[in-house]
């Protein structure tokens, strides 16, 4: 990626963050960074993997999570702060992206953070996959810094942004760094990973702008006969990384429960 493209994209993202309560258009963003709307949209997508509009939506949802955890009783104030005018629209969009309603997100936050924390000193054992049941195998090896200590989430997402439930996903802890997916529906997916360090602050499990990231560099086209072995490196967050919107602790709880 060209440095000037990255710089323009980061400038646009910073502008979005400062004007979430406004109706922001791609044309406004393009003017702000001195590009034509066509070239700006193309450059932005080449850097982030998604359109400016989808990125803005993810920023609003991430800011909504932050405001709900900070001021759980002030829903109307939250809506206005992130550019929503309708409670119904916000509730629908929030559930679609995060996985639960705003009310449930607030009510479950403490319980889910406690659920996460128990695996700091306990092996996470998810249901084993019968690798003999299918010829389709997608194996992911995660390379994490030696200093990392926390939970690693691995998912196959429909878009190169974790703003909805993955089509397949799992979590790894302690020394486990490999997972295998089978029986994945045919389609095109993006392998994304997130490393969440252990924390005494429950918010650190839901507001993930500082967590480690990783992504397989190309889209994965899955068929019945797909046999893929990939390695993804966990790295620090970059200023143009899309927000991690989906509620990862909830996904872990649901998978372990099943």
For the chain, the domain total comes to: 2
Q: Range of 17's domain? A: 3-112
Query: Smallest Cα–Cα separation from 193: which of 155, 145, 236?
Result: 155
User: What is the pTM (predicted TM-score) of this model?
Assistant: 0.93
Identify the band that residue 54 occupies on the pLDDT scale cut at 50, 70 and 90: very high
Identify the band that residue 201 occupies on the pLDDT scale cut at 50, 70 and 90: very high
The answer on 135 and 84 residing in a single domain is no
164 assigned to some structural domain: yes
Q: What is the mean pLDDT of the chain?
A: 92
The answer on 179 and 91 residing in a single domain is no
Query: Smallest Cα–Cα separation from 252: which of 151, 150, 149, 184?
Result: 151
The answer on 203 and 91 residing in a single domain is no
121 assigned to some structural domain: no
The answer on 240 and 151 residing in a single domain is yes
Q: pLDDT tens for residues 136-182?
A: 899 999 999 999 999 999 999 999 999 999 999 999 998 899 999 99
Is 61 within 8 Å of 2 (Cβ atoms)? no
Last residue of a domain, one of 81, 112, 143: 112
Q: pLDDT tens for residues 207-238?
A: 999 999 999 999 999 999 999 999 999 999 99
- Backbone CA torsion sign across 147, 253, 140, 57: negative
The answer on 85 and 9 residing in a single domain is yes
The answer on 188 and 100 residing in a single domain is no
The answer on 75 and 137 residing in a single domain is no
The answer on 243 and 198 residing in a single domain is yes
Q: pLDDT tens for residues 68-79?
A: 888 766 677 778
> In this predicted structure, what is the pLDDT of residue 131?
58
Asked whether the predicted pLDDT for residue 133 surpasses 70, the reply is no
Cα dihedral 80, 84, 89, 90 in deg (nearest 10): -60
120 assigned to some structural domain: no
Last residue of a domain, one of 112, 139, 168: 112
161 assigned to some structural domain: yes
């Amino acid at each position: 990626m060209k440095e000037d493209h990255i710089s323009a994209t980061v400038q646009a993202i910073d502008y979005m963050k400062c004007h979430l309560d406004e109706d922001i258009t791609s044309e406004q963003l393009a003017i702000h960074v001195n590009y034509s709307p066509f070239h700006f949209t193309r450059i932005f997508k080449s850097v982030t993997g998604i359109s400016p509009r989808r990125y803005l939506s993810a920023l609003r949802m991430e800011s909504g999570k932050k405001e709900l955890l900070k001021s759980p009783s002030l829903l109307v104030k939250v809506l206005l702060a992130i550019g929503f005018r309708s409670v119904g629209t916000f509730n629908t969009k929030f559930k679609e992206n995060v996985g639960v309603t705003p009310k449930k997100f607030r009510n479950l936050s403490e319980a889910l953070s406690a659920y996460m924390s128990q695996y700091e000193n306990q092996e996470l054992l998810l249901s084993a996959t019968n690798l003999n049941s299918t010829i389709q195998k997608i194996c992911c090896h995660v390379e994490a810094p030696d200093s990392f200590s926390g939970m690693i989430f691995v998912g196959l997402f429909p878009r190169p942004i974790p703003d909805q439930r993955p089509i397949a996903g799992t979590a790894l802890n302690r020394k486990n760094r490999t997972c295998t997916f089978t029986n994945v529906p045919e389609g095109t997916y993006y392998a994304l990973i997130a490393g969440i360090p252990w924390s005494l602050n429950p918010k650190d499990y839901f507001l993930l702008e500082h967590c480690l990231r990783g992504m397989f560099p190309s889209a994965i086209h899955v068929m019945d006969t797909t046999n893929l072995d990939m390695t993804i490196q966990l790295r620090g967050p970059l200023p143009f990384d899309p927000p991690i919107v989906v509620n990862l602790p909830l996904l872990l709880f649901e998978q372990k429960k099943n």
